[in-house]
Chains A and B, each alone.
Chain A
Amino acid sequence: MKRNVPLFITALGGFTLIIAYFIPATQGWGEVAAIWFDILASIAFILGGGNLLKIHLKKVSDKSAGWAYSAITLAAFLTTLFVGLGKVGVNPNPQYPEYSLSGHYREIGSPFWWLYEYAFKPLTATMFAMLAFYISSAAFRAFRAKNLEAILLLGTAFIILLGRTFAGVYLTAWFPDWMSGLKIENLTVFIMSVFNTAGNRAIMIGIALGVASTSLKVLLGVDRSYLGSGED
């Protein structure tokens, strides 16, 4: 029961959506399944938050290494949750002023908006901005022209890096008209629309076959790894 019912549910959910695609009369069932999926996805956010709470509370109570940072995480989490769920500082909807919770949870000027604008946004944006530094370091450490394949990769990268900025336009601006195809910006377009398209198309076809086979294995119960170890 603990493992057979989930396998049946997996197959039922998946095949409902597949059948709904081919038989128009069953399209409604597919829509219902997709809507339930969307609702469960939002509950998964709550699960994620609950899991975070559980892990960090344990760290703080056990006073394990770095527990002070877990305390900061919890404080940030609970503050954001409180002001967001409670719509603290949010004005009501002008159409329904007697309903204090009718306002928009993201209202500009509210504490929840403040936390997004001045904590969440700069932190996530800067974390991703760091990648520019790591890519420069990787360019210095990793990209060696050891063989023909590596030379092709690096040569293409040079053309793209130059061609997608004014540097490439400037460098080959003097080419005569009959050589305009070799101007770096035109070469870039050619590489992207021909070679890159061909390579990525092959990769896409391969991935599609892989996804199809993995999905079928899951739906037919051959792959049961998502059910866990089965010890409980």
Chain B
Amino acid sequence: MYEFLKDLDKRWIFLLMFLCVTIPIYVIAKTGKSFPEVPTVLSEAVFQAVEDLGQGDPVLLSFDFDPASEGELGPMATAFVRHCAEKKVKMYFMALWPVGPQMIDDAIAKVIHSDFPSLVYGEDYVNLGFKPGNEGVIKVIVTDMRELYTTDDIGTSINDIPMMKNIHSVQDFDLVINVSAGYAGTKEWVQYGSTPYPDKIKIVAGCTGVQAPLLYPYIPNQLPGLLGAIKGAAEYEKLVIDKYGGNDPDPKYLEAKRRMGPQLVAHLLIILLIILANYIYFVEKKSGVSV
């Protein structure tokens, strides 16, 4: 076994990883069964932050991610838009990433156009689009949003959009929801948004697995709630579905839950690989072979 493992071509490991993800996806899609989810404290904090909003409250949703992280963050974005639509808050979309507006378009098409067709663009939701500058954008809009956003994403003047009437800066929003894949994202929103204006700007966020551990130091003073990786998305999905989903929820609101299946199998594979790697190490150490 030692000889076999020592010289194992890495392409067999790639094949194993491929199968560990593909087979569960196939089985879960065919059977319709997936693993149960139990929400944790941080997901409940995010859920409660949105639940505490009242009808008509203005909420800024900043989708700072691209297709490369859509696997983790797409379900979060969908769940956030669904929750906000159910709460009948006014949704203001923006992005700090160039491809962010495409993610906004996808979420609007998937949730609002499909399940909430009575919502009116310009009165219930608006897409302000992307502006380059990363934290420079946040720095401007926390005090004066209209200087940078003179039109919405389509080109309509801000002055002609009814729901922009009382919005002059980020401080006018009751909540900022950030879905973030990296730089610029949640860290910058905390640094230039909630930290300098702790009483005016409240931020909750969903982020990738890579970022999540790095954002824990901000919790809870600067960042009351955080959804970390696909697990956070699955937990938040469960909370939204339990409250608003009914007995037979639409499968598009259960994407993260379905993806936890391949996640489990792949995690077990990684653990197995680490154990096998250490088996090789200890055999070599015992036999005096230099590693």
Contacts and interface: CB of A to CB of B under 8 A. Distances in A.
Q: How large is the interface on A (under 10, 10 to 19, 20 to 34, 35 or more residues)?
A: 35 or more
B270 A192 contact: no
Contacts of B263: 165
A38 B133 contact: yes
B266 A132 contact: yes
A162 B267 contact: yes
Among A129, A145, A165, A185, residue most surrounded by chain B Cβ atoms (within 10 Å): A165
**Residue among B66, B133, B143 with most chain A CB within 10 A:** B133
Contacts of A102: 155
B21 interface: yes
Interface string A119-137: 0111011011100110111
A144 B278 contact: yes
Interface in B96-152: 98-99, 101-102, 105, 131-134, 136-137, 139-140, 143-144, 147-148
A140 to B, nearest CB: 4
B277 A140 contact: yes
B270 A135 contact: yes
Interface of B: 8, 10, 13-14, 16-18, 21, 35-36, 38, 40-41, 66-71, 98-99, 101-102, 105, 131-134, 136-137, 139-140, 143-144, 147-148, 153-156, 196, 213-214, 216-217, 219, 229, 231, 260, 263-264, 266-271, 273-274, 276-278, 281, 291
Contacts of B270: 135-136, 139, 161
Contacts of B267: 161-162, 164-165, 167
A204 B217 contact: yes
A45 B132 contact: yes
A108 interface: yes
A106 B17 contact: no
Contact of A201 (B41, B139, B217): B217
Contacts of A136: 13-14, 16-17, 266, 269-270, 273
A161 B17 CA distance: 15
A180 to B, nearest CB: 12
Interface in A30-72: 30-31, 34-35, 37-38, 41-42, 44-45
A137 B14 contact: yes
Nearest to B137: A38
B67 A93 contact: no
Contacts of A37: 133, 136
Interface string A142-164: 11111000000010011001101
24 contacts: A31-B143, A31-B144, A35-B140, A35-B148, A38-B148, A45-B132, A93-B154, A93-B155, A95-B156, A106-B105, A122-B67, A125-B71, A135-B270, A136-B16, A136-B270, A140-B10, A140-B274, A145-B278, A158-B271, A161-B270, A165-B231, A165-B263, A166-B264, A200-B214
Contact of A197 (B101, B132, B139, B217): B217
A34 B70 CA distance: 30
A140 B35 CA distance: 27
A104 interface: yes
A196 B13 contact: no
A132 B136 contact: no
A8 interface: no
A169 interface: yes
Contact of A192 (B14, B71, B216, B260): B216
